[in-house]
Amino acid sequence: MTKVKQESAYLFNTGQSFQSYDFLGLHLQADGSYTLRVWAPNAKGIAIVGDFNDWEPTIELTMLDTTGIWEANTDGIHPGDHYKIQVTGLDGRTYLKIDPYARQFEKKPGVAAIVPAPTTFKWHDGLYLGRRKRLHHDQRPLNIYEVHLGSWRRNADDSYYSYEQLADELIPYVKELGYTHIEILPITEHVLDASWGYQTFGYFAPTSRHGNWEGFLNFIDRLHAENIGVIADFVPGHFIKNYDALYEYDGTATFEPQDKFTAKNVRWGTWNFDLGKPQVQSFLVSSAMFWLKEAHIDGLRIDGVTNMIYLDQDEGKDHIRNEHGDNRDLAAIAFTQKLNAVVKQNLPDVMMIAEESSPFVGITKPTNEGGLGFDYKWNMGWMNDTLKFFEMDPLFRKDNFNLLTFSFMYMYDEKFILPLSHDEVVHGKKSLMHKMPGDRYNQFANLRLMFAYLTAHPGKQLLFMGSEWGQFLEWRDYSALEWKDLADEMNREMSTYTNVLNHLYTDSKALFQQDDRADGLIFTNTDDAASSTMTFIRQGIAPRDFMVTAFNFVPVEKRQFKIGVPYPGTYEVVLNTEDEEFGGTWTHVETTFKTEAVAYKGQPYSFEVTLPATGALYIKPKRIRMK
């Protein structure tokens, strides 16, 4: 064994190989032959079978000393060939398995890998990546459009869009609506559509549903050309249950824990990764680095972090404790810290985002300070409370106003993204539009109001596809969105509103520059539960960059509604959620206000407005005098 191979195997086996995809898997050599390496430490024998040898085990691999890594070199393989790995276990039985490092798989329901052709793809996103490095993401607007590629749009015959079709139609749509990023549900290869990609097996392959590797790269490149970032959901906690994938890969527990009770994820119907095993760490960190480095992905949203970092999250595991007597999964916590530390060391300008719903302290705290090291955490508490509040009949909102104000108690504990995601519009939960109370007019009014509240609240923001125009049907992964809705005037007006609100957000530094700092929000009137109204000011870094926001959460117009402000002068309305162009009833109304030297709610000056029923106003300084 050469020194290079010895070092590569050592790094992989000690959990220090963070680009193991360069060593393991199938690789084209300069002379036209292929080298295959597979990690299967307890196997008795390994062979590659496929189209090139009539699926007979004629090409056998040999283990590199005692590394657990098997290798073979052959010149009988060609691009486009299908192949699998035949594993002979300790009991003498043979199993056909996937290549864990394959870059391309056949279309479902098969799981055979495909020998990829040599890539000819060239990137054109140098300027975009340069801008990404120069200005940190926490200083930029982050408005994410979450999309499931398989059901955003479909062809007339109900077939999936290709990556090229998605680039042609999704990119201009997202850009026109003013989103800064898209977030894609897992794009790694998977068999079951209903899993949405969260039961994955191809950790180095984009799903074949939409095309091949080069098609996917071109999709990313074209998004970057329009200055749109890409976040991908990533699933390092668990994998598909199928026996021809990673489960008992060498005939014994390889990627999963030895203990079947610990290995089985009952709630999700998957197998848990053994996150304390060094080789599994190398595999998963390498997968994350692969998408970030080789596919130029701008960030990863890590799925199911709560399930990873606690021992008792699954059914029947309430009693499990660690050696300290608590429910933390110490190995998973250490792995998560390693994953984030490696990513930040190599690619400090990408985003690592946690889908995490527990009170765990330090999710977005740096790893060198004892935190998990994520850049952002999904604020699931804000999401649950906000949706619960808006689903209520307005008559009861005054008695449950704490659902809105509670988030102010912890909004700077972590760096948050405020998500209205796919999980909230599926499995009988109803669409966001359908959740809103009242008749159709009032449902749209409430939806506009909720979106205005989302945008004004400290934190970056995310919205799932279809919600932008108020689709009434809840999301179905097996069919396209209800684009016919846009033939309806009220849905078109809702889409116009989302467009205007999104562009106002990206153009207003006050709404994003200080999301995670106390200086970014000035409380003016947030405790008036009796009237179900609220006002606060979002403050940018520059003193003149601020936005006054006022919300009325009941269908009763508030006249002579007083708003306190810090400086004297003239202020103007830049957004009224009840404007006629958005589907509201307001046409010719006063939009400019002059302050009076009347102190109100801790502010030295004030002015009065008419606050629309079930509506919100965004008000900016027009001409003010600053001390």
Active-site choice (303, 414, 485, 578): 303
Q: Which of 454, 313, 451 is nearest to 382 (CA)?
A: 454
Distance, in Å, from the CA atom of 28 to the CA atom of 44, rounded to the nearest integer, reads 26
Distance, in Å, from the CA atom of 577 to the CA atom of 237, rounded to the nearest integer, reads 41
Are 265 and 310 spatial neighbours (Cβ–Cβ below 8 Å)? no
Query: Is 351 exposed, middle or buried (CB count within 10 Å of its CB: 0-12, 13-18, 19+)?
Result: buried
Distance, in Å, from the CA atom of 485 to the CA atom of 597, rounded to the nearest integer, reads 49
Active-site choice (248, 256, 355, 424): 355
Predicted local distance difference test score (pLDDT) of residue 138: 87
Helix%, strand%, coil% for the chain, nearest 5: 30, 25, 45
b/e per residue, 520-539, with b = 16+ CB within 10 A? Answer: bbbebbbeebebbbbbbbbb
Assigned token pair, 87: 């594993």
Distance, in Å, from the CA atom of 425 to the CA atom of 226, rounded to the nearest integer, reads 29
Predicted local distance difference test score (pLDDT) of residue 626: 86
Are 45 and 60 spatial neighbours (Cβ–Cβ below 8 Å)? yes
Distance, in Å, from the CA atom of 446 to the CA atom of 110, rounded to the nearest integer, reads 46
Whether 355 sits among the annotated catalytic residues: the reply is: yes
Query: How many helices (H) and strands (E) in the chain?
Result: 14, 29
Q: Which residues contact 327 (CB under 8 A, 6 or more apart)?
A: 310, 311, 312, 320, 321
Q: Which residues contact 177 (CB under 8 A, 6 or more apart)?
A: 145, 468, 495, 498, 499, 502
Predicted local distance difference test score (pLDDT) of residue 442: 98
User: How many CA atoms lie less than 13 Å away from 614 in the CB half-sphere?
Assistant: 23
Query: Is 398 exposed, middle or buried (CB count within 10 Å of its CB: 0-12, 13-18, 19+)?
Result: middle
Q: What is the pLDDT of residues 436-488, one digit of tens each?
A: 999 999 999 999 999 999 999 999 999 999 999 999 999 999 999 999 999 99
Assigned token pair, 356: 């995490």
Assigned token pair, 116: 């990829």
User: Which residues of the chain fall below pLDDT 50?
Assistant: none
Backbone angles phi, psi at 581, to 5 degrees: -65, -20
Mean pLDDT of the chain: 96
Predicted local distance difference test score (pLDDT) of residue 546: 98
Whether 489 sits among the annotated catalytic residues: the reply is: no
Distance, in Å, from the CA atom of 190 to the CA atom of 206, rounded to the nearest integer, reads 9
CB atoms within 10 A of CB 78: 13
Torsion of CA 272, 372, 223, 418, to 10 degrees: 100
Q: Which residues contact 593 (CB under 8 A, 6 or more apart)?
A: 570, 571, 572, 607, 608, 609, 619
Residue 136: helix, strand or coil by DSSP? coil
Residue 320 DSSP one-character state: -
CATH: 3.40.120.10, 3.90.660.20, 2.60.40.1180, 2.170.8.10. Which one for 518-624?
A: 2.60.40.1180
Distance, in Å, from the CA atom of 263 to the CA atom of 623, rounded to the nearest integer, reads 64
Assigned token pair, 598: 């009347």
In this structure, the chain runs to a length of: 627
Tell me the CA distances in angstroms from 17 to 10, 256, 279, 346, one per residue in order.
8, 19, 9, 13
CA angle 210, 350, 231 (to 5 degrees): 30
Residue 469 DSSP one-character state: G
Alpha helices in 411-531 (DSSP H): 432-435, 440-456, 489-507
